[in-house]
Structures are given as structure tokens and as C-alpha cells.
Structure 1
Amino acid sequence: MKRKLKVLFIGTYVPRECGIATFTSDLFNTISKEDEVDCCEVIALNDIDETYDYPEEVVFEIRRNKLEDYYRAADHINRSDHDVVCLQHEFGLYWGDAGDYIFALLSSIDKPIITTLHTVIKDPEPPYRRVTEKLMQYSDKVIVMSETSENILHEVYDIHNGKTELVYHGIPDCPFTDSKEHKELLGLKGSPLILTFGLLNPNKGVETTLDALPAVVEKHPGLKYLVLGATHPEIKRNFGEAYREYLLDKVHELGLESNVIFHDKFVEKNELYEYILASDIYVSPYHSREQVVSGALTYAIGMGKAIVSTPYWYAQETLTENRGILVEFEDITGISKALMHLIENPQECNEMRRNAYEFGRQMIWKNVGKEYISIFRLALKNYPVSTTDEKTDFSLFSVNLPKTKLDYMISMTDDVGIFQHATFGVPSRRHGYSTDDVGRGLVALTRAMSGNDRIRDIKKLVTLYLSYLDHAQTEKGHFHNFMSYDRKFLDDKGSDDTFGRALYGLGHVCACSLLPDNLRSHALGMIRRSRPVMDEIHAPRAKAYTMSGLYEILDKGIDKDIFLPVFIRYADHLTGLYEDNRQDDWEWFEPEVTYGNAKMCEVLMLAYNLTGNPKYRDTGIKTLDFLTELQWNGEFFDLVGNEGWCKYKCEKALFGQQPIDAAYLTEAYVTAYELTRRERYFQLANRSIEYFLGRNRLNAVMYDHESGAVCDGLDMKGMNPNQGAESVVCFIMALEMLTRYSEKTEGSKQQETGKELMQIYGKNKFSTKSLS
């Protein structure tokens, strides 16, 4: 027996008032009732500032103008057990350039995608061509609703690989009936009753029908023309009711007040069906020839209506063989004659109705649903599935780490310090310098000294950076942070974090045996001058930075009587924060996860090394494991972004991701590996450094192997082009720390650890589709 399918639909959805919402709902209701289907769910697309009371099948909502929601939807899909994704596509539905936000979702999921195209453009502008071609690329099957659409894809977009499938727009299964009883049910009068329905917009061509009516009304004064439907929301938003008012004025000018009815309402589908069945003639006077499908015309055909239409593509295709009358665009006389012919020749009109009804039998929803299911199964059959071994090989083995390049860091430094920012490798003088970067720069330089053939350059930079910090230190022992290019400090003193980052660098200089004694002594003197300020520091990350620097000198036995009490007091403060804020599902120091997070975890493990207090070790490991659970998704580290951070009981922000967090994670995992010798920490260290090398949400390579530059982060629109000091310095810090241990781990051991890591953290296979 065939395994039952689990299907996820993406599109607008009821109760939103739009044609595709109705289509998605009808398709859902049809397929969910089929025996071959286990369950169906929906991801609904909302317009700006919209909210709806959706039915229970809607499991996720996308705000169309929020790129982050598309990524979140992809995450939801990847975590789900759905077999296939069925996407409804229409230009104007999704946000971005020609709706290209949808590719943030499509490029990130690894399930078969079946796309229904509600619009296909024959002569597309470049953005629309590009989007259509990308839809072809990401879709495993593409469903079109007319032969014309299929021909355009073949001829214009050169699609000839069996990817397209023709399935007509679905319709309800209604009996072939007379209109009289339905008119009575709705309380409608008039013979004949002529109908045009759908969301009202200027392309409907209603004014052409109005101009054609006086000649018909003169002979058939009982005629009623019903224009059914609310104004299209986009038209109403941009132009108000100008088109409807224009039509009302025309009715008055033509003296048709007793013959024309405007029903300004979006009617539910069952009520709509009654209106269609109550009508005698359906008029479809569209202005545009490039109409490849029309749900309204499909309903009229399937319910056996006599039809008068302009010759847009879909009408030309479906109204052959005496299933309707085609009249040229804006041909007022032609519409008049066609209406008169149908009214005055009831037998021929009835034959036309019967022809349309019989043609529409293939379009009833039950038949359409079966065709969709067949296409779903075909897509699944042809869908490439990676084996477990392939997933393990690709996702979990360590890669060859790049060698540290100092060229870029050197190019970013002048005779004052290291520039804060640079765009495409060009230092920005207007942003000047920062103690934050200089302090961490000293950590990077001291770690890079061992085995580096540029030892002279490194010592020169260390001397320069020490000079900067010496100048930046205030009389009270704190540090200025920002200096302009004209060598003027821009603050009275920097933040607590600035103080901690300066101490972080100074401590590493003191502990670096490869540096001359004069530099190490100078750094220690600056640390000693800063001792009074340590009693005034409150920020937890500032304490973590300070502890990182103090650990280096305390581990060497330097000034323990002075600084060990401070170090322990800081460690106790961090563990106290953890106890105050932890919950069963929140193992963290604060009610919010923000930036530079793993540094706090790391220093508590260092505190255990120094004091032997197991409380520090346990807190450091628990909080690091919490960060892992929060950010490692089985494929890559999806860091907490700065566009909202991550609050307790709330979803984390996806963008504004900062490389500093990937670097600090790497350092913390190496420290955890040193402490516990649990190989999974070493593997996680490799995964976090690979964040810079393309293993991230956007598959963006942030590290320039040629220059050594590092981009600053991942934003909604892509990689941040700033290649500032913080990113390159933090990358070198992490790379050097990890490189120390990479050669110690044997390949066979890594493979065994990879399997362990997949069991502990693995959720999804790495998406090959996302690499395309």
C-alpha cells in the first residue's frame, strides 16, 4: 500500500478576501478528504498590518513584507514531517523585487516543492523573468492552469524537462440546472440576469458592458446586470473607490439605474455559487489579452452558463467548440449583438450552456485533487534523498582550517591604532578608532605569535596597541573608548565593556612569554592602575572580559593577592545571575540572550580551572549547552540576531547576526573540550568557526581567503559589507585557539564524535538545495 501523504500548503487563505485564498482553501478541503492523504496544514500569507482568525489548519503565518518571517517559515517546514510543499504563486502576492522574498523560504527548505502558477507573463520585464526562472529552479513540479501558460513556459522560458503539469482551475460539482429556482432563493428579479463577478478593478472592463446595455435594454427592459464583488484591496488602498464611482456615474448617464445592480461585497463561495447559478449569462469583458487563467470564467464554464467574453488567452482556449461567444476588446456593439443573440435564441443558448458544462466536468475539485496527488507522488518519487552516511560526511566532519593571515589587520592599522570600520577593505577614517578593538586586537596578536613568521610585525603592532591603551587610560584607571581620526577622544570614559575588553588584551600581553619583558611589564602596570575601577564594574559581560584578562596573569601566579578576590567575586556574581534567572527551559544568566554571550560561559569554566569550585564549571557547561540548543540547528549555527535578540518565552531574532558570537562560541567550545575532553565540544568548535566559511543561514562566505578580511554580519538583505576591526580580530582570536587543538584529534575519532553529535543535536540534513 502507498504511504499516506502529509501536505503543506503555502498561500493566502480564508478568511482573507482574495481569489487565491479561496483557491487554496478549496484545494486544501479537496485534498485533505482524499484517502491517500494523512494530513494537510497551511502556512498563510498576511498583507501589511493584517491579522485574521484563521481556522485550525493554519499552523504558521507570514507577514508578506517581513523577510524574517520567510526564514522562520522555512525553519518550521524543515522541522515538520510534511512530505511535500504546495506553493501558490502570483506576482504581487509576495514582497520584494517582483516578489523575490519567497526565495528566502524556498532556498532554505529541503522538501519537494510543487508550485501552482496563477500568472505566467509572456513578455516579462527582467525582474519578473528572473523570478519566474528561479521558481522553475526551486520547484520540483510546476502546475499551470491553461495550455497557454504551458506553451509560454516552453517558448519564452525554455522549460522542456517535463517539469510542468497542466491541471485546470478547480470548480464545485454543481448540477446542470435552470436559473429560476436560484433567483427565487436569492430574491433576485430580472430576465435575463447578466452577471460579472470578482474583485472589482479597471481591468474587469465593466464599463464596456455598461456602454453595450442600452441597445439591449431597449428591446428587453426587464434585463438586470449584476456586478458582484468588492473593490480589489490593492486598488482600494491606492485609489480608493474611484473606479466604482466612475461606473456609478456611467450608469446614471446611460439611464440604467433600474437595470444595473452593484453588490459591493466579497461573498463567501457558497453564496457566490448561488449567484452564478441564478444568472443566465456571464460576461467577462477583460481589457488585457495576457490573462492566462480566470477563476471566475472557470466557475461560469463549470456551472453551465452562457458566456460572452473578450478574447484574452484563457477565454480563447476554453471557449472553443461553441462553449461561448468571443467579442473583440472594448467592442461595445459586439457585446450588444452577442447578448441579443443569446437572449433571442434560447435553444442555441441552452446548447452552449450544455457544451460548457460538459467541458467543465474535468475541472471539478474532486478530479483536480486527484491530479494534484498524482503530481505530489511523482515529485516525491523523483526527489533526491541523501543517505545517512552522506549527511554525516557533509555535515559533521571537520574542514581544513585556513591559516591565520595578518595582512588585513595590518592594513587596517595606522600609526595610532586599528580603524573601527572599513568598506570593501578600505578603512573608514571618519569612524576613527576604538579601545574595544585595540584590546581584543592584543588577544589576537598574542595568540598568533607562536609559529608565525611575521613575529616582527606582530611585536610592532603589540607595541602600537599598548601605546593606544596607555593613552586611552584615564587618571582613575578607566579607559576612553572612541577616538576620532584627529586623535581626540570622544568620551569622558568608555562603557564597562570597554574597560573589560582593555583588560582582556592587557592580560594576554602579560602572559605572553614570546613578548619582551618591557612590554609585559608595561601592560601589568596598566592593569594595576585599573584596580580601583574593578569595584565599580557592574555589567556581566564586562566582568567576563575582565576575568578573561585576569585569568591570564593569575594562571601565571602574578598578583594573586590583589586580583584573585576580584576574580572570585565576579565569578560569584555571574553564577548568582544564573541562579536568579534560570527556569526549567531557560538556562541563562539573564531574561534575554543578547551579544557576546559565550564569553560568560567560558570564563566560568576558566574560574573552575583556577579555583576548583565545581559550581563555576557546572554553570559554565549548562549555559554553554543552552546556547548550543538555542543556536545549533543540526546544520549550522543560527545565531541570535540583534534585531530583537531572544527573550524568555519569545522567538529569537534571526538577523543582525554578529560574527563575534560565532568566534566566542568557538573559544568556549575549545575551553569546554579542554575541561571535559568530551569530543562533541571539539566538533561544535569546528562548526562554529565554519560559520565564517559559509555554514550559516545565508550560506554566505564571510571570510576572504585572499585578503584575510571578514564581513561584519548577516542582515535580512544579506551579508553586511563592512569589514571592520571587530570581525577580523575575533575571527583570528577564535581561529588561533581552535588551530591549537585541530591536529590533536584523529580522523577516526572525529567520525565517531560526528555520529554522537548528530544524535545529540541533529535535526535536519544539510540542504543541498540551499547551496544552489
Structure 2
Amino acid sequence: MSVSHRVLSPSSPADTAPGEVSFQHLAHLTDDIGVFEGAVLTVPVREGGYCVDDVARAFVVTAREPEGSAALTELATTYLSYVLDAQADDGAFRNRRAVDGSWSDAAAVHDGWGRALWALGTGVARAPELSDWRALEAFTKGAALRSPSTRSMAFAGLGAAEVLAVRPRDVVARELLSDAATLIAPPDPLLGRRPTPAEGWHWPEPRLSYANAALAETLLAAGSLLGVWKWLTEGLAMLSWLVETETTDGLVSVCPASGWGLGEARTPFDQQPVDVAALADACARAFDVTADPRWSAAVGRCSAWFEGANDAGTVLHDRDSGGGCGALAGRVGHADQGAESTIAMISTFQQAKRLGVDGGTA
């Protein structure tokens, strides 16, 4: 397969301000196929290729950006094409793609499936002129499947929530969101289906792992959109506990990539930007549902995390490139500005700006 490559034009100037949304580095990581997964400092690692996880996330942030431009539309069109191409006939999604355009894995219902449905739902709700019927058709086909993974289902459920925001009677989206919430929500312990959580551990899993807040956000979305009070209250309780657990001395301090469970020693480092972004998304939805200012304040702290209000005191926002640095590794930030960390930063800044807590300050 012969593919021509070009890096798309940046849509923002250099020298971005603290908390400012910029697509400059994301554009630099993007070519005709998608967004390159890795980078050495600011240089894309082309031989590493692309993955649907990152491309789907990139589409979400470009599609929901209120200040659009021709360059931003070009980026979104590239990302949407990748997501659509990744879908197999049965509705599952391939994930990894080489720089020559060939796929290197089989279609499955993994996190990539969930994130792809999130992207497609976002296209239906926020970029109808770009996605026309294709996003809804692909979402409907993919949403007929189910994953045993709570996070995959959470990501897919957030896509369903996007669809329901503009198509509240969509049966396929309603069933997917309901099934995601049912998988996530802790059952009533009186029914004997699961042991009562340990005292002080208000979470449906024995350990925190990655993108934890997405589980609480899915319950919030399901509770508010489907009118299920139990899911709404449980989602708020879970998110409240998570925010308290992941706040240290007024700073966001998400659990490390290795995870964390009750009674385990917890390191303040190896924190991932994607976890901060998930926390910001969930708190932003909680604010939308409740109008409680404590949730918008939490979004502000997530934004500030990228600007140095973290356990290492390290700025992870490269204001020259517009990129986001990787995890807090040891007592410093990882300098490589790959797709995941850059998109996570953009997503967090978007939520902060929307709620009026932008600028990298709480």
C-alpha cells in the first residue's frame, strides 16, 4: 500500500500562555493517516505508527473545540477517517496501524473499541457537518457489541452519552449506556452479589488503575441521561472519594501507573496525564449536573497540574511547542511529548476554559 505523508499545518502560534488550548503540537504529530503515537521530545516517532486509542482521543478534542478553524477541521477529518477505517464488518475495531497504512492487529472489543465509539458519538453530537451519517452508522454497528472490561465499556458509554445528548430516544445508545453503568455500578451488598467494599474504600474495584474517573463519569452520564437516581448518586459519591483520595496538600496527585489499593504503599510519582484528563472530564460533568463549584475548582486543579502544581513542582506544558510532556517520572516530568500526554493536556485545558477556570490556576 503506497501512502504519501505530510505533517499537517499547525493551527496555533507558538508561545502559548498557561492553560491555553493549542493544537500546534498535535498538528505536528499528525500526517495524512493519523496522529503518531510517540515522540522523542517534540519529534514524532514515525516508525512507531498509530493507534486508534490516540486517534479517537484526538478526534474528541478537535470536534469539541468551540473555536474552530480550517486547520482544525482538517485535523478532525483525518482522525475521523482513521476511526472509520479501523472498524471491521462485525463492529469491532482494529487498533494499531503502521506508517505504510497497513493494520497490524485483529479487530476486537478492547479500549480502542470503547474510545472509537466515544469519538463516533462525539462526531454525531458535535461535528454533524463533518461526520454526516457515517459516524452514526459506525457507532450503531459498534454499539451492538459488549466488552467484559469496565474501562472499555465506560469509554463506549461516554460515546453513547454524546449520542443521547442530541438523540435522546436512540435505543442502541440507551442500551449501551445502561449496560456500561450496570457493569460499573457496585451492586447492592444486601443482594449478596459482591462483598461490601472495605471501610473507607468507596470504589467498585479492589485497586485503582488507569482512567479511573471515567467509571464515575459514566455513572453520572447514565444517571442524568437515563433518569436513574442510584447511578447518579453513586457516581457523585465515587467521584467525591476519588477527588479526595487523589488530592494532596491542595494539589492533584493521581495514583501511579502501576495502580494502587487499600493498604498498599503509594508513590506520588509515575502519574499519567491521561488520568488527570479523565478526572477533569468527570468533574466537569459533575459540575454540569450539579452546578456545585467544588467540581469546577477540581477541574482548575487538574489544569494547574500541567502547569507545575503537582508533586514534582514540574511544568508539563511546553509553551513553545504547545505539547504536553509525559508522566511525572521520579521527581521530574518525562520530556517526550507524545500523542497521549498532549491530547490529555488539551482536553483538560478545554474543560477548564469552558468552566471559566482556565489559565492553569485553580
Fold shared per TM-score above 0.5:
yes
Deviation at 1:401, TM superposition (A): 5.4
Deviation at 1:525, TM superposition (A): 1.3
Tell whether the 8 Å contact from 2:217 to 2:235 is kept in structure 1 after alignment. yes
Deviation at 1:540, TM superposition (A): 0.5
Q: Is 1:594 aligned to residue 209 of structure 2?
A: yes
Question: 1:711: which partner in 2?
Answer: 325
Deviation at 1:519, TM superposition (A): 1.6
Q: Is 1:429 aligned to residue 43 of structure 2?
A: no
Out of 239, 250, 261, the position equivalent to 1:624 is 239
Once the two structures are superposed, the pairs formed by residues 301-312 of structure 1 within 5 Å of their partners are none
Tell whether the 8 Å contact from 1:640 to 1:652 is kept in structure 2 after alignment. yes
**In structure 2, distance between residues paired with 1:672 and 1:512:** 20
**What is the identity, as a one-letter code, of the residue corresponding to 2:90?**
K
Deviation at 1:531, TM superposition (A): 3.1
Tell whether the 8 Å contact from 2:302 to 2:348 is kept in structure 1 after alignment. no
Deviation at 1:615, TM superposition (A): 0.7
Question: 2:167: which partner in 1?
Answer: 557
**What is the identity, as a one-letter code, of the residue corresponding to 1:545?**
F
Question: 2:350: which partner in 1?
Answer: 736
**What is the identity, as a one-letter code, of the residue corresponding to 2:212?**
N
Question: 1:639: which partner in 2?
Answer: 254
Q: Is 1:533 aligned to residue 148 of structure 2?
A: no
Change (3 A) 1:658 1:743: closer
**In structure 2, distance between residues paired with 1:469 and 1:577:** 34
Deviation at 1:578, TM superposition (A): 8.7
Deviation at 1:556, TM superposition (A): 1.1
Tell whether the 8 Å contact from 2:280 to 2:298 is kept in structure 1 after alignment. yes
Question: 1:699: which partner in 2?
Answer: 313
**In structure 2, distance between residues paired with 1:520 and 1:408:** 28
Once the two structures are superposed, the pairs formed by residues 500-539 of structure 1 within 5 Å of their partners are 500-513=114-127, 515-516=128-129, 519-534=131-146, 537-539=147-149
CA RMSD of aligned residues (A): 2.1
Tell whether the 8 Å contact from 2:252 to 2:301 is kept in structure 1 after alignment. yes
Larger Rg: 1
Out of 68, 72, 77, the position equivalent to 1:458 is 72
Once the two structures are superposed, the pairs formed by residues 736-755 of structure 1 within 5 Å of their partners are 736-742=350-356
Cα deviation, 1:262-321, whole Å, max 9, x if unaligned, reads xxxxxxxxxxxxxxxxxxxxxxxxxxxxxxxxxxxxxxxxxxxxxxxxxxxxxxxxxxxx
Once the two structures are superposed, the pairs formed by residues 43-62 of structure 1 within 5 Å of their partners are none
Q: Is 1:662 aligned to residue 279 of structure 2?
A: no
Change (3 A) 1:679 1:422: same
Q: Is 1:585 aligned to residue 200 of structure 2?
A: yes
**In structure 2, distance between residues paired with 1:521 and 1:575:** 32
Question: 1:651: which partner in 2?
Answer: 265
Q: Provide the TM-score with structure 1 as the length reference.
A: 0.42
**In structure 1, distance between residues paired with 2:202 and 2:229:** 17
Tell whether the 8 Å contact from 2:18 to 2:319 is kept in structure 1 after alignment. no
Deviation at 1:577, TM superposition (A): 6.1
* Structure 2 counterpart SS, 1:742: coil
Once the two structures are superposed, the pairs formed by residues 359-378 of structure 1 within 5 Å of their partners are none
Cα deviation, 1:46-94, whole Å, max 9, x if unaligned, reads xxxxxxxxxxxxxxxxxxxxxxxxxxxxxxxxxxxxxxxxxxxxxxxxx
Q: Is 1:574 aligned to residue 191 of structure 2?
A: no
Tell whether the 8 Å contact from 1:645 to 1:653 is kept in structure 2 after alignment. no
Cα deviation, 1:570-628, whole Å, max 9, x if unaligned, reads 21221136963623210002000011011111111111220221111111111111112
Out of 129, 134, 152, the position equivalent to 1:542 is 152
Tell whether the 8 Å contact from 2:174 to 2:226 is kept in structure 1 after alignment. no
Deviation at 1:522, TM superposition (A): 1.1
Tell whether the 8 Å contact from 1:605 to 1:617 is kept in structure 2 after alignment. yes
Question: 2:14: which partner in 1?
Answer: none
**What is the identity, as a one-letter code, of the residue corresponding to 1:612?**
G
Once the two structures are superposed, the pairs formed by residues 385-404 of structure 1 within 5 Å of their partners are 402-404=19-21
Cα deviation, 1:348-377, whole Å, max 9, x if unaligned, reads xxxxxxxxxxxxxxxxxxxxxxxxxxxxxx
Tell whether the 8 Å contact from 1:425 to 1:723 is kept in structure 2 after alignment. yes
**In structure 2, distance between residues paired with 1:547 and 1:490:** 27
Higher relative CO (Cα under 8 Å, sequence separation at least 6) belongs to 2
Tell whether the 8 Å contact from 2:251 to 2:309 is kept in structure 1 after alignment. yes
Tell whether the 8 Å contact from 1:577 to 1:590 is kept in structure 2 after alignment. no
* Structure 2 counterpart SS, 1:500: helix
Question: 1:468: which partner in 2?
Answer: 82
* Structure 2 counterpart SS, 1:532: coil
Deviation at 1:706, TM superposition (A): 2.0
Question: 1:674: which partner in 2?
Answer: 288
Tell whether the 8 Å contact from 2:161 to 2:173 is kept in structure 1 after alignment. no
Deviation at 1:719, TM superposition (A): 1.4
**What is the identity, as a one-letter code, of the residue corresponding to 1:451?**
E
Question: 1:443: which partner in 2?
Answer: 60
Question: 2:97: which partner in 1?
Answer: 483
**In structure 2, distance between residues paired with 1:544 and 1:734:** 18
Change (3 A) 1:640 1:487: same
The number of aligned residues is: 339
Deviation at 1:506, TM superposition (A): 0.8
**In structure 1, distance between residues paired with 2:23 and 2:223:** 33
Once the two structures are superposed, the pairs formed by residues 79-478 of structure 1 within 5 Å of their partners are 402-448=19-65, 450-452=66-68, 455-478=69-92
Deviation at 1:655, TM superposition (A): 2.5
Tell whether the 8 Å contact from 2:299 to 2:357 is kept in structure 1 after alignment. no
Deviation at 1:738, TM superposition (A): 2.2
Tell whether the 8 Å contact from 1:401 to 1:739 is kept in structure 2 after alignment. no
Change (3 A) 1:608 1:539: same
* Structure 2 counterpart SS, 1:697: coil
**In structure 2, distance between residues paired with 1:402 and 1:695:** 12
Question: 2:338: which partner in 1?
Answer: 724
Tell whether the 8 Å contact from 1:667 to 1:738 is kept in structure 2 after alignment. no
Q: Provide the TM-score with structure 2 as the length reference.
A: 0.88
Deviation at 1:635, TM superposition (A): 3.0
* Structure 1 counterpart SS, 2:316: coil
Tell whether the 8 Å contact from 1:507 to 1:551 is kept in structure 2 after alignment. yes
**In structure 1, distance between residues paired with 2:252 and 2:262:** 19
* Structure 2 counterpart SS, 1:533: coil
What residue ranges of structure 2 are gaps of 5+ in the alignment?
A: 1-16
Deviation at 1:634, TM superposition (A): 2.2
Deviation at 1:420, TM superposition (A): 0.1
* Structure 2 counterpart SS, 1:583: coil
Change (3 A) 1:476 1:704: same
Cα deviation, 1:713-751, whole Å, max 9, x if unaligned, reads 11126211221111111221221122112179xxxxx9x
Query: Which moved further from structure 2: 485-494 or 425-434?
Result: 485-494
**In structure 2, distance between residues paired with 1:634 and 1:507:** 37
**In structure 2, distance between residues paired with 1:622 and 1:682:** 16
Deviation at 1:533, TM superposition (A): 2.0
**In structure 2, distance between residues paired with 1:724 and 1:494:** 24
**In structure 2, distance between residues paired with 1:520 and 1:442:** 15
